Amino acid sequence: MYDQYATEKLIDLWLTEDIGGCDLTAQTMIEPDEQGHFVMNARESLIVAGIGVAARVFRKYDPTLDVQVHFADGVRVEPGAVLITVKGNARSVLTAERTALNLAQRLSGIANETAKYVEEIRGTKAQLIDSRKTTPGLRMLEKHAVLCGGGLNHRLALDNGVMIKDNHIAVCGSIKEAVMRVRRKLPVLTKLEVECDRVDQVREALAAGVDVIMLDNMSLEDMREAVGIIDGRVKVEASGGIRLSNIRPVAETGVDYISTSKITQSAPAVDIGLDEA
């Protein structure tokens, strides 16, 4: 889920960053009319993400290139799978190669990591969601990669919803006061979430009439108590310190959502290569 118009502008920035004034290697070594046939292939088992955007990198740099995409985003492929075929001017293919590969490797890596977390909480009611801790300039696409891996998106940006955190509460004086101020101006279809790091705050947030309560860095015991207090009246999100090694016990407390930055900040890139066919 990403906007094509916004992506086109990003591709211009990516190519400009990588190429600089010109691809000196390609232009000094390869004849202007020399042709090539290349395949972008998976070198490990992975979940495809961003492959359509990677193909558009080639097309944007040289619209004469024949670029074919062979798998849709969200599909798991095995080593050796051909993701993209590129035919045409060899200079153009090799100039745009690294930008396209960087993108596919990064986004597929996020999809892969997300899938591991989703599998770990399978069978519970909890759903995995991401955060705003993304690479500047790549949020839209990194959140798309989370969807490809089976996760869900939290706020896409600050204008997507209200999240009252500890510093907001400190400025306003209390959760009750912070919620009252927000409710006076909040669009009627926009959700309001409040972050709580103590059980007494959960009671205050529930009484204030919020839509979602985040349990921030709480112990498993406190999470279970908070879920019991809320008793299904609003949605509950667990956050803070979530890792693959501890996500299952958190899910078993009965929360609705678990958010983590690990799936975007710490996801290793997968191995994808471009080879001559």
Q: What is the set of active-site residues? A: 98, 133, 165, 195, 216
What tokens were used for 167? 């510093």
For 170, phi then psi, to 5°, come to: -60, -40
**Pairing mode, strands 272-276 and 35-42:** antiparallel
Spatial CA neighbour of 73 closest among 96, 102, 107, 114: 107
- Geometric angle at alpha carbon 260, from 259 and 264, rounded to 5°: 125
Give Cβ neighbours of residue 178 (< 8 Å, ≥ 6 apart).
164, 168, 169, 171, 172, 194
Centre a 10 Å sphere on the Cβ of residue 146 and count the other Cβ atoms it contains: 30
Centre a 10 Å sphere on the Cβ of residue 32 and count the other Cβ atoms it contains: 8
Centre a 10 Å sphere on the Cβ of residue 203 and count the other Cβ atoms it contains: 15
Contacts 24+ apart (CB under 8 A), 29-33: 30/90, 30/91, 30/94, 32/89, 32/91, 33/89
